[in-house]
């Protein structure tokens, strides 16, 4: 990942690839994830096909900063965002309201977002923009923890593999629905929500 971050040309190529509906494998604080432009119907469709996942199930989105939420259409109250940006970066995915659905939200007026607890990934996101961050696996199978696993299991489906070495693995991120008050846990995971 360090080589990619050090090369403006490679970053520009990755950004252009994602804009055209391309798929990248990226390391996160838990597992490797499938990255696509969350506003690209083509990219999102390719993820759903690769994962063999129901078309109606939304994909979470990774962001580097609060400023990246606006272009996605996130419509959460500033007080709500303050609460989660006081916690992030962390393995905590939070479902927030949207002004209008985007391809990653799959028709829903809400979107799961996270500022990942992986410094290199946050730097990448700051440069290329938000991307989807669903685990890299076929539905029902274990997610990939190593770049070699990605290359072996998905040799044709991934356009770019961002090699970050072995990921920590363990529990998936905690998934919290903040469209309700108080927020409710949809999936317990790596972040201990009270």
Kindly list the domain boundaries of the chain, sorted by start residue.
2-187
Higher pLDDT, 74 or 10: 74
Which SS3 state, helix, strand or coil, does residue 22 take? coil
- Domain 2-187 part of CATH 1.10.167.10: no
**For the whole model, what pTM was predicted?**
0.95
Which pLDDT score, from 0 to 100, does residue 76 have? Answer: 96
Which pLDDT score, from 0 to 100, does residue 100 have? Answer: 98
Mean pLDDT over each residue of the chain, to the nearest integer: 94
H runs (alpha helix) in 134-190: 147-153
């Amino acid at each position: 990942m360090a080589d990619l971050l050090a090369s403006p040309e490679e970053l520009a190529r990755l950004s252009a690839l994602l804009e055209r509906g391309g798929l990248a494998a990226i390391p996160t604080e838990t597992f490797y994830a499938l990255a696509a432009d969350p506003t690209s119907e083509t990219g999102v469709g390719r993820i759903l096909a690769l994962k063999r996942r129901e078309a109606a199930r939304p994909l979470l989105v990774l962001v580097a900063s609060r400023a990246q939420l606006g272009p996605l259409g996130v419509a959460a109250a500033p007080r709500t965002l303050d609460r989660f940006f006081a916690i992030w970066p962390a393995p905590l995915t939070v479902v927030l309201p949207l002004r209008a659905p985007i391809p990653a939200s799959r028709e829903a007026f809400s979107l799961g977002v996270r500022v990942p607890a992986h410094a290199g990934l946050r730097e990448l996101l700051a440069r290329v923009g938000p991307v989807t961050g669903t685990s890299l696996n076929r539905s029902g199978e274990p997610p990939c923890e190593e770049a070699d696993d990605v290359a072996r299991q998905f040799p044709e489906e991934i356009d770019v593999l961002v090699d970050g070495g072995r990921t920590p693995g363990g529990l998936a991120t905690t998934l919290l629905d903040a469209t309700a008050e108080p927020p409710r846990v949809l999936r317990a995971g790596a972040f201990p929500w009270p």
